[in-house]
A and B are shown apart, each in its own frame.
Chain A
Amino acid sequence: MSETAVRPERIDAFAWRIPVGTVPGMRVPGVVFATEELMNKAVEDRAVEQVANVATLPGIVEASYAMPDIHWGYGFPIGGVAATDVEDGGVVSPGGVGFDIACGVRLIRSDLEFDGDVRARLAELVATLGRRVPRGTGKGGALRLDRRGMEAVLRDGVRYALSVGIGVEEDAELCEDGGVLQTAAPEDVSDRAKERAASQLGSLGAGNHFLEVQAVEEIIEPDAAEVMGLFPGQACVMLHSGSRGLGHQVCTDHLRVVDAAARRLGIEVPDRQLACVPVQEEEAQRYLGAMAAAANFARANRHALTHAIRESFQEVFGGSAKRPRKGSGPGLGMSIVYDVAHNLAKVEEYELGGRVRTLCVHRKGATRAFGPRHPELPSRYREIGQPVIIPGSMGSSSYVLVGTSEAARKSFSSTCHGAGRAMSRTKAKKVMSGVELVRQLEGRGIAVAASRPGLLAEEAPYAYKDVSQVVRACEGAGLSRMVARLVPVGVVKG
């Protein structure tokens, strides 16, 4: 990397350009969507240089994009989006997906009102969730998988969970891709990856993974909120988790293979973590098959966690269960609003230069955000666009957004994925201890269940950017629209 900080040129109030030539080998410009304040942070932590580095990938089209929650990553910036032309030598880079393959967010709504139904039993609810939801590092998932079960999870994703009685049929259509990527190739997932995950299905994990009980604080776009079944004061659960050790191992294994193939093919990149290989090559196909299998594991994992969440609510509120407001949803009206990943590479079609092109779209800490009438949307969301779930930092607001048609030509239908870190974990722990943070959150009426309170400060709200500013920047840039704002009332952490 160069020693001088890269400073992009302003395009408009919410977009900035990094011209070709800023770093050697750029094939397209970089485009960062951000307010001036967010851009200054991205320049400061040198994430902007990483946007420029991604612009060197063979076959990249249009631009190397970054969302407003951009921050320094390893190779790709977090918040990075890059599309490569599959039929014109375009590459896939495992580093452009990352180690937590298909890490994502799911929002589960309920028919309960926070003030009327939940507040009085909040401590009991959070303690029950803490007891029923496996979390933390290593082993301890809700389901132990034998070899056949593992193959089925990797192949069928949420469909596997449904086949063993977890969840209800309508759940699948409320997940990206109907809960299963059909391109999965379990045979390209190593035994070692399968071994790591055998006891991890249905576990939250640690780090920035969490589940929160939230209350809908503000409805911003009432029509879309109504379609999603959201109403003011409603109790919901937001879940953030990924593919656990399986995804980490898939990336580790295939990155080495792709790195060797890139050397063989003479592909040079400015950061070795960007190692890549043309999508048409066998190494790329095997990675994409294994990545899809890991994505299916991540979706099944969030599904098994959802089961534990529903059971927790039933345990606490079962006696006073309300009937679902609409249709035949699960008990207490605990339907999924949507489940979407923010670390994935997907083959999608876009019109560029007057013709439809098949692109490999990498989203590393960025969320797919299809606009209205996209054929891949579930029928209920066809008119409003794809729901996008944006978690805030623990203790701050979270948002529900919808994708826009405009985003298809601006960012390959991508928007932000969260608040974006602003402070290292070490610094965050120096500001206050985990115990102090728990006290502070509880003082604000937020119940906390943390298996390792000492580490909680790593994920403190002050370690992140202002999520409200991030989602407003996405709306200003035309990438997504705000539908509802939720606030945390209970936090469960690994």
Chain B
Amino acid sequence: MPGPEPPPFEILEHTADIGLRARGKSLEVLFENAIWGLIEIVGARTDEGKNEERVLVRLDEDDPGAALVDLLNEVIYLLDLQQARIAGLSVERADSVIEARIRWRPDPDPPEGTELKAATFHQLSLEKRDYGFDATVYFDV
């Protein structure tokens, strides 16, 4: 009997910063869940958003963790530059490119979550497991 499905992401404690563990049955789903985890930490989720942003990052088969860090940093850039609240997203893969489509709206008020400076390579891991993929990434707060 397979066990219960693991949660799509969980937030990890760190003395100074904050971590995220994300899972997904495919790399695309993993990346999507990781972005939602980031958005939860920042407190930037919203119900509606008409703007759409396409984010592209290069995927190196031997180093998929770097693509995850790049993708999360792209989202942090969007949040910071546009003061964006995120309404929806999808992630697709075409060969060596990961594409995220993000629906968002601007909000002049700061979100009620923790501001993140960047996703880091500290203790970065992205591994294949029996249920799909599992990744851990830490952010600088």
Contact call A78/B16, Cβ cutoff below 8 A: yes
Q: Mask for B76-88, Cβ within 8 A of A = 1, else 0?
A: 1101110100000
Contact call A425/B110, Cβ cutoff below 8 A: no
- Interface on chain B toward A: helix, strand, loop, or mixed SS? loop
Contact call B80/A255, Cβ cutoff below 8 A: no
For B117, give its contact among A47, A100, A192, A271 (CB under 8 Å): A100
Known A-B contacts A245-B80, A271-B123, A452-B112; A72 and B15 likewise in contact (beta carbons under 8 Å): yes
Contact call B13/A421, Cβ cutoff below 8 A: no
B14-73 at interface with A (beta carbon < 8 Å): 14-18, 66, 70, 73
Q: Mask for B110-141, Cβ within 8 A of A = 1, else 0?
A: 11111101101111100000000000001011
Contact call A252/B13, Cβ cutoff below 8 A: no
Q: Determine, out of A27-35, A105-113, A136-144, A482-490, the stretch whose residues face the partner at the interface.
A: A136-144
Known A-B contacts A74-B138, A99-B117; A138 and B122 likewise in contact (beta carbons under 8 Å): no
A35-80 at interface with B (beta carbon < 8 Å): 45, 47, 71-75, 78
Instruction: With both chains docked as a complex, state the minimum distance between the C-beta of A254 and any C-beta of chain B, in angstroms.
Output: 12
Contact call A454/B112, Cβ cutoff below 8 A: yes
Chain A residues lying within 8 Å of B83, measured Cβ to Cβ, are 137-139
B11 near A: Cβ within 8 Å?
A: yes
Contact call A427/B13, Cβ cutoff below 8 A: yes
Q: Mask for A212-252, Cβ within 8 A of B = 1, else 0?
A: 00000000000000000000000000000000010011011
Contact call A71/B16, Cβ cutoff below 8 A: yes
Contact call B141/A72, Cβ cutoff below 8 A: no
A384-435 at interface with B (beta carbon < 8 Å): 421-427
A196 near B: Cβ within 8 Å?
A: yes
A207 near B: Cβ within 8 Å?
A: yes
Contact call A207/B141, Cβ cutoff below 8 A: yes
Contact call A252/B115, Cβ cutoff below 8 A: no
Chain B residues lying within 8 Å of A205, measured Cβ to Cβ, are 115
Q: Mask for A444-486, Cβ within 8 A of B = 1, else 0?
A: 0000000110110010000000000000000000000000000
For A271, give its contact among B16, B110, B122 (CB under 8 Å): B122
Known A-B contacts A74-B138, A139-B83, A196-B77; A424 and B122 likewise in contact (beta carbons under 8 Å): no
Known A-B contacts A45-B15, A73-B16, A195-B81; A452 and B110 likewise in contact (beta carbons under 8 Å): yes
Taking CB as reference atom, which chain A residue is nearest B111?
Answer: A137
For B15, give its contact among A75, A423, A458, A494 (CB under 8 Å): A423
Q: Mask for B83-97, Cβ within 8 A of A = 1, else 0?
A: 100000000000000
Contact call B17/A426, Cβ cutoff below 8 A: no
Chain B residues lying within 8 Å of A72, measured Cβ to Cβ, are 14-16
Contact call A192/B112, Cβ cutoff below 8 A: no
For A249, give its contact among B13, B15, B77, B124 (CB under 8 Å): B77
A273 near B: Cβ within 8 Å?
A: yes
| Bound Cα distance A251, B117 (Å) | 10
Contact call B120/A74, Cβ cutoff below 8 A: yes
A247-291 at interface with B (beta carbon < 8 Å): 248-249, 251-252, 255-256, 259, 271-273, 275
| Bound Cα distance A424, B16 (Å) | 6
Number of interface residues of A (CB under 8 A): 48
Which of B114, B117, B138 counts the most chain A CB atoms within 10 A? B117
| Bound Cα distance A424, B114 (Å) | 12
For A425, give its contact among B73, B80, B140, B141 (CB under 8 Å): B141
Instruction: With both chains docked as a complex, state the minimum distance between the C-beta of B8 and any C-beta of chain A, in angstroms.
Output: 19
Chain B residues lying within 8 Å of A122, measured Cβ to Cβ, are none
Chain B residues lying within 8 Å of A75, measured Cβ to Cβ, are 120-122
Contact call A255/B121, Cβ cutoff below 8 A: yes
Contact call A455/B114, Cβ cutoff below 8 A: yes
Which of B11, B15, B79 counts the most chain A CB atoms within 10 A? B15
For B18, give its contact among A47, A252, A422, A425 (CB under 8 Å): A425
For B118, give its contact among A138, A248, A422 (CB under 8 Å): A248
Chain B residues lying within 8 Å of A186, measured Cβ to Cβ, are none
Taking CB as reference atom, which chain A residue is nearest B114?
Answer: A425
Taking CB as reference atom, which chain A residue is nearest B123?
Answer: A271
A178 near B: Cβ within 8 Å?
A: no
| Bound Cα distance A422, B140 (Å) | 16
Chain B residues lying within 8 Å of A139, measured Cβ to Cβ, are 83, 108
| Bound Cα distance A272, B11 (Å) | 21
A130 near B: Cβ within 8 Å?
A: no
A206 near B: Cβ within 8 Å?
A: yes
Chain B residues lying within 8 Å of A73, measured Cβ to Cβ, are 16-17, 122
Instruction: With both chains docked as a complex, state the minimum distance between the C-beta of B106 and any C-beta of chain A, in angstroms.
Output: 10
Contact call A74/B122, Cβ cutoff below 8 A: yes
Which of A100, A452, A458 counts the most chain B CB atoms within 10 A? A452
For A272, give its contact among B15, B112, B121 (CB under 8 Å): B121
Chain A residues lying within 8 Å of B108, measured Cβ to Cβ, are 139
Starting from the known contacts A73-B122, A195-B81, A256-B70, 11 additional A-B residue pairs (CB-CB under 8 Å) come to: A45-B15, A71-B16, A74-B17, A139-B108, A207-B115, A248-B80, A252-B73, A424-B14, A427-B13, A454-B112, A494-B110
Nearest 4 CB-CB pairs, A to B?
A74-B122, A272-B121, A273-B122, A424-B13
A-B contact pairs, 26 of them (CB 8 A): A1-B123, A47-B15, A71-B16, A75-B122, A95-B121, A99-B120, A99-B140, A100-B117, A137-B83, A138-B79, A138-B83, A195-B81, A196-B80, A205-B115, A206-B115, A245-B80, A256-B66, A271-B122, A271-B123, A275-B121, A424-B14, A425-B18, A425-B114, A426-B11, A426-B13, A452-B112
